[in-house]
Amino acid sequence: MGAGWILLVVLIVLTLIVVGAAFTIVQQANRYVVERLGAYHATLDVGLHFIIPFFDRVKRKVSIKEQVVDFAPQPVITKDNVTMQIDTVVFYQVTDPKLFTYGVEQPIHAIENLTATTLRNIIGELELDESLTSRDLINTKMRNILDEATDPWGIKINRVEVKNILPPKDIREAMEKQMRAERERRQAILIAEGNKRSAILNAEGDKESRILRANAEKEAAIQEAEGRAKAIIEVQTATAKGIEMIKKAGADEAYLRLEAYKSMIEVSKGQATKLIIPSDMQGMVGLASTLAETVKKD
């Protein structure tokens, strides 16, 4: 009776193990390729699935996430016979788990070899300078070629990037010297252009300063001349107004003679030794002299 119970327990445990193994859970972003009796049966999507024990088995667990593969540098020869080392990075994604499982043996190794041969073909059509300056062209051509070639394998090539291009050491040194000379040339040009610009600005500043100074002197002369002219006009205007007022006041001959005598007094104050006096005023010389003496005493 004890042995029977032990056998029953063993059978129950084995049954549970077999039944448990018959249920498979597929996680997110994964696909399971299932074979039945050695032939492809189905591709299991995300979730819980039942497979028949001893008849079905999971052939391959495939990730459908985008993956990145960094391949080692490959030696390539340019059109002008320069050997370079180029390493690439490939971004790919499995789109068909069945083709990925049965389409090619060791898919990643196949992609690496395909990348190397494609890179050699593309670089072989370019010269050294073109290879160094045409990364976008190389990336685009490689992506198109690899994507088309890997389509039967259930693989989608999203991007291909050329990470490093390493020419031979002597060529790198020559390129560095050329770049250094180019930088020095550009620096010399910038310095010359700066000096030229500075000289132009100084000349323009001196020119503007002279123009402003000349305009200032011109304005000053004009203002001075206008001031003198205005003063003369005002004096003449005042004199004319004075004469006009005398005429309007009806001054008699005696007043006019008196004004003439005042003028004679002023004249007598001068340094002249000889005076010419009109005949009609000679009779009044004595009076004028007397008036002159009076003014001097005052």
Tokens at residue 78, please? 């340019």
* Residue 51, number of CB atoms within 10 A of its CB: 20
- Determine the pLDDT at residue 217: 82
Q: What is the pLDDT of residue 90?
A: 94
The 10s digit of each residue's pLDDT in 90-145 is 999 999 999 999 988 888 899 999 999 999 999 888 888 888 888 888 999 999 99
Q: What is the mean pLDDT of residues 215-242?
A: 78
Regarding whether 158 and 197 lie in a shared domain, the answer is: no
Q: How many domains does the chain have?
A: 4
Residues 146 and 200 in one domain: no
The set of long-range contacts for 198-202, using a CB threshold of 8 Å and a minimum separation of 24, is none
Same domain? 155 vs 71 = yes
Looking at residue 145, its amino acid is I
From 100, 135, 167, give the residue that closes a domain: 167
Single residue among 26, 44, 63 that ends a domain in this structure: 63
**Would you place residue 16 in the very low, low, confident or very high pLDDT band (cuts 50, 70, 90)?**
low
Specify the CATH number for the domain of residue 127: 3.30.479.30
The yes-or-no verdict on residue 81 having pLDDT over 60 is: yes
Flag whether pLDDT at 243 surpasses 90.
no
Give the mean pLDDT of the chain. 79
The per-residue pLDDT for range 255-268, each reduced to its tens digit, is: 555 555 555 555 55
Whether residues 120 and 180 share a domain: the answer is no
The 3-state DSSP class for residue 95 equals: coil
| Domain finish residue from 35, 63, 91 | 63
**Res 256: pLDDT:** 54
Q: What is the mean pLDDT of residues 41-69?
A: 89
- 71 and 163 housed in the same domain: yes
Percentage of the chain beyond pLDDT 70 is: 76
242 located within any domain: no
Structure tokens at 178: 């050329």
Are 7 and 35 found together in one domain? yes
**Domain identity same for 126 and 173:** no
The domain in which residue 173 lies consists of 169-223
Q: What count of other Cβ atoms lies within 10 Å of the Cβ of residue 59?
A: 18
pLDDT reported for residue 295: 43
pLDDT band of 291, cuts 50, 70, 90: very low
Of 49-53, 101-105, 229-233, the range with the lowest mean pLDDT is: 229-233
In a domain, 241, yes or no: no
Q: What is the pLDDT of residues 158-192, one digit of tens each?
A: 999 988 888 877 776 766 777 777 787 888 888 88
pLDDT greater at residue 53 or residue 289: 53
Residue in 101, 107, 143, 104 with CA at minimum distance from that of residue 122: 143
Evaluate if residue 82 carries a pLDDT over 80: yes
Residue 275 or residue 148, greater confidence: 148
- Above 60 in pLDDT, residue 1? no
> Residue 160's beta-bridge partner residues?
90
Contact 86, 103 (CB under 8 A): no
Where is pLDDT greater, at 44 or 184? 44
Greater confidence, 33 or 295? 33
